[in-house]
Every structure is written in C-alpha cells, then in structure tokens.
Chains A and B, each alone.
Chain A
Amino acid sequence: DGGITQSPKYLFRKEGQNVTLSCEQNLNHDAMYWYRQDPGQGLRLIYYSQIVNDFQKGDIAEGYSVSREKKESFPLTVTSAQKNPTAFYLCASSIVADFSYEQYFGPGTRLTVT
C-alpha cells in the first residue's frame, strides 16, 4: 500500500446521503487518482488531479465530486446523484500526472449504500 492511506476501510450509508472518502499520501507525489472497482470489471477512472487546486474528470465522473486543497489529500464525495454507488473505491498517486508513469494504490474503501 506504500504511503497512501484510505479511510474508512468500510463505509455504510443510506440512499440519498452524500458520503466522503478520504485519501492521503506522504509520497510527495503531484498526481492523485480515484478509481472505482466493480466485480468482473476493470478499474474505471473517476477523477484525477495533476496539482493542488486542479482536477480533471475521468470516464465516470457523474455523481462524484473531489477537491485538492493540499498536495497530500484528495477526498472523494459520492453524492446522492450517483445511481449505483455501492463499490470498492481505490485511490492512487504518481510522481506526475502522466499515465505512463507507475501508479501506487491505497488499500481501498468499500462503500455500501442501502
């Protein structure tokens, strides 16, 4: 898991509630990423950030929001607009925001919405 922490490990929420997932890294990496993992599918990119106060939508950004106020932190908010939020969420970081560079993953947060 390197120097990336995600909390909590498990999260349960009622439908209609927003929820924020935490991601912190101490690798001094500029770039951070959020992915969603569903059974039988490859990881899908939600958002990524190249630098503080900047972020870009990934392939499945609808219903999610992020912020990047500090280099070390990249929290993800799953809003009530996300139609199917139950999934395993992975945060990653890399030295720079270049997808040809190695990405280091956190341990993940499993979100269950009922």
Chain B
Amino acid sequence: KNQVEQSPQSLIILEGKNCTLQCNYTVSPFSNLRWYKQDTGRGPVSLTIMTFSENTKSNGRYTATLDADTKQSSLHITASQLSDSASYICVVSAGRNKLVFGAGTILRVKS
C-alpha cells in the first residue's frame, strides 16, 4: 500500500532556532518527492521537488534531503521565523498516475 508518513505531527520552536521535519514513504513506483508549505486557510505552495537521483535541494532557509535507499526525506528549516508557522506536507509521486500525500507536520514558531 502506498503511504507517506510524517513526523512529528506538530512542533513548537522558538524564533531563530532550527528544526527538521521527517517524511518516510512506501510508494512505488517512485517519480519524485515534494515538500509543500501550507499556511492556515490557504493552498499549499511548493518548496522543493526532488527526483530519485537528487540527495539534497535548497530553497532559501529550507533544505530538503532524500535517501531513496531508506525511503526517507527530511526538511530542515534554518533560523526559523514567525512566518514559518504553517503545515508542511510531504508528497510523493507514484509515477504518472498518482500522488500520495502525507498528513503534514504543523509547525509553530514562537517569539
């Protein structure tokens, strides 16, 4: 069964601190893995997209890693800001015909 599991479910950190969100997947066939940021009450916005051959990809203070052997990905946020408070969703493309969404990690950055 195709599944994407994210951890933790929620996380609270202080402004300026770093954090790492995890994504484990069992999806076949694998095309790519994406991380989205979703602000409350808004649509998801793409942060990164990685194919099988890519180990890491950055977008500003966001860095995603992919280990295709262990089927794990992480999203590292550096020097967090209040505006980073959002839900972060891991999505895996299972070929041309399916996307599998994780339930998301809710991040709250406190001042």
> Which residues of A are at the interface with B, using a C-beta cutoff of 8 A?
1, 4, 6, 9, 40-45, 88, 90, 92, 98-100, 102-108, 110
Contacts and interface: CB of A to CB of B under 8 A. Distances in A.
A6 B44 CA distance: 13
B60 interface: no
Contacts, number: 55
B90 to A, nearest CB: 9
A100 B50 CA distance: 11
Q: Is the interface of A mostly helix, strand, loop or mixed?
A: loop
10 contacts: A1-B43, A1-B45, A9-B41, A42-B103, A43-B89, A99-B96, A100-B95, A105-B45, A106-B43, A107-B42
A43 B93 CA distance: 13
Nearest to B95: A100
A42 B96 contact: no
Contacts of B34: 102
Contacts of A1: 42-43, 45
Interface residues of B, number: 26
B43 A40 contact: no
Interface of B: 4, 9, 31-32, 34, 36, 41-46, 49, 89, 93-104
Contact of B89 (A6, A42, A102, A110): A42
B4 A98 contact: no
Contact of B42 (A44, A100, A108): A108
B35 to A, nearest CB: 12
Contact of A105 (B44, B95, B97, B98): B44
A42 B42 contact: no
